[in-house]
Amino acid sequence: MTRDSNSRPQGDPRTTDRIEIITIGDELLLGFTVDTNAAYAARRLADIGIVVARRTTVGDDLTGIETAVRAALDRTGAVLTSGGLGPTSDDMSKPAVARVFGRELQLDEEQLRRIEERWRKRFGGPLPATNRAQAFMPVGAEKLQNNHGSAPGVWLQDDAGRWVAMLPGVPREMRGMLDDTLIPRLRATSTGRVVRSRTLRTTGVPESALAELVRAMQPGLELPLAYLPSAEGVDLRLTSRELQSHQADALLEAQARRLTDALGAAIYDDGANSGQSDLAALVLDACRHRGLTLAVAESCTGGLLGARLTAIPGSSDVVLGGVIAYANAVKTDVLGVDLAALERDGAVSESVVLGMAAGARRVTRADVGVAITGIAGPTGGTADKPVGTVWIATDVQGRTASRRLNLIGDRDEIRVRAAQSALALVRASLPG
């Protein structure tokens, strides 16, 4: 006997606060398909306070699926699978999960009629035998309606209230079924807790140094903190998993404020809004607010800084332009960098970067000049100035600041880090 998704299964599922996700498919193991389903499901489950305790990926293999589902069910009693529900021989989720629950597969006449009708409308003619497989359901299973494809999802539950929900692998169908059917059902049984995060963005301080500052905080943080480094800086994510919505928000706010106090200027976004701020946009806002215009002079970044700034809508009221001064002759002839200084100190030096920042202002009449010169590699490094040596400078209406950076990474990363560091220096150099 199979039940329709409208009727409740015997014995309500117990309160779900922890779940495991199992994604199924050889293509996932081989790396041909990126597992976006698990990421999507995890985010949606977090919204309703369900913690994803573990994610597993297995191939299209009956025993592999069975073993993984049994182990996950033993740990949490609540399992979401994606994939392996199709009509072909590599689709083995239903038989595998039926085995875990000790159930037979049987033909669901109603489902068969639905599939036959759908087939007739779309392709005409009789249903191929392989597609009949989609009409077999484990005994006692409940169908989860699929508004976005032919294969229904399957909900299977035992007397103890332990359950497995099987969703299709096709991402559009998986998302649709999750949102339409499963999330509303799980929300109804959830504890009211939320899994909520807040992300603070930092730049200019290495991960290990940030961790040192966090460790020194007295008292320590009350929430777990994830360090998420990229070429632009380190994002810090606080996550609350145990609290009701308003308590979580209040604690995240308080902890974010303490982090901001502890880390100071390294933080450029305290996460109050999105935690996705672009430093370039913040620099533009800061200039606009003070009525300042800006121009760039770039050597090793070759226009990256200008591109970051002009990618922001509305940048034209702040950004006047810039010079890509790659060759020394452009540094001297266009930007007016002192030839003697260049010959004495080299193109990657404080005197040259200051000359470039001043030159950017002179040729554009901007209030703020910002300059970058460095060695992005992979060649061109020396003992004194290895690859990753970058000088940045700002000239704000004649008040200058400069900094030598020793950046790590490949050519791309060094260029991205250099542009980000220059933006941070502008932000730090603007009048209060």
CA quadruple 87, 88, 94, 99: dihedral sign:
positive
Report what 388 binds from ligand AMP, Mg ion, none; CB cut-off 5-8 Å by kind.
none
Residue 203 to residues 77, 209, 225, 427: CA-CA distances in angstroms?
42, 12, 17, 12
In the chain the first and final C-alpha atoms are separated, in Å, by: 73
d(CA 300, CA 85): 52
Give whichever of 90 and 116 is closer to ligand AMP, judged by the CB atom.
90
The stretch among 80-88, 231-239, 308-316, 321-329 that binds Mg ion (CB under 5 A) is 80-88
Give whichever of 91 and 269 is closer to ligand AMP, judged by the CB atom.
91
Does position 369 interact with Mg ion (CB under 5 A)? The reply is no
Q: Which residue is nearest to Mg ion (CB)?
A: 25
| Smallest separation (angstroms) from Mg ion to the CB of 95 | 14
Residue 22, beta-bridge partner list: 56, 81
| Smallest separation (angstroms) from Mg ion to the CB of 93 | 9
Which helix or strand (DSSP H or E) is residue 44 part of? helix 36-47
d(CA 46, CA 106): 35
Tally Cβ neighbours within 10 Å of residue 390: 28
d(CA 388, CA 345): 17
Does position 153 interact with Mg ion (CB under 5 A)? The reply is no
Report what 202 binds from ligand AMP, Mg ion, none; CB cut-off 5-8 Å by kind.
none
Does position 64 interact with Mg ion (CB under 5 A)? The reply is no
Give whichever of 38 and 405 is closer to ligand AMP, judged by the CB atom.
38
Question: Would you give the binding string for Mg ion spanning residues 124-143, x where CB under 5 A is met?
Answer: --------------------
Rule CB under 6 A: which residues touch ligand AMP? Answer: 23, 25, 27-28, 33, 35-38, 82-86, 91, 168-171
Tally Cβ neighbours within 10 Å of residue 147: 10
Report what 167 binds from Mg ion, ligand AMP, none; CB cut-off 5-8 Å by kind.
none
Where in 6-35 is the site for Mg ion (CB under 5 A)?
A: 25
Give whichever of 13 and 25 is closer to Mg ion, judged by the CB atom.
25
Q: Residue 264 region, left (φ>0) first, then alpha (ψ -120 to 50), else beta?
A: left
| Smallest separation (angstroms) from ligand AMP to the CB of 56 | 11
Cα torsion 424, 429, 431, 432 to 10°: value is: 50
Does position 168 interact with Mg ion (CB under 5 A)? The reply is no
Give whichever of 164 and 282 is closer to ligand AMP, judged by the CB atom.
164
Give whichever of 88 and 230 is closer to Mg ion, judged by the CB atom.
88
Residue 40 to residues 10, 82, 152, 224: CA-CA distances in angstroms?
29, 11, 19, 22
Give whichever of 80 and 183 is closer to ligand AMP, judged by the CB atom.
80
Residues that bind Mg ion (CB under 5 A): 25, 83
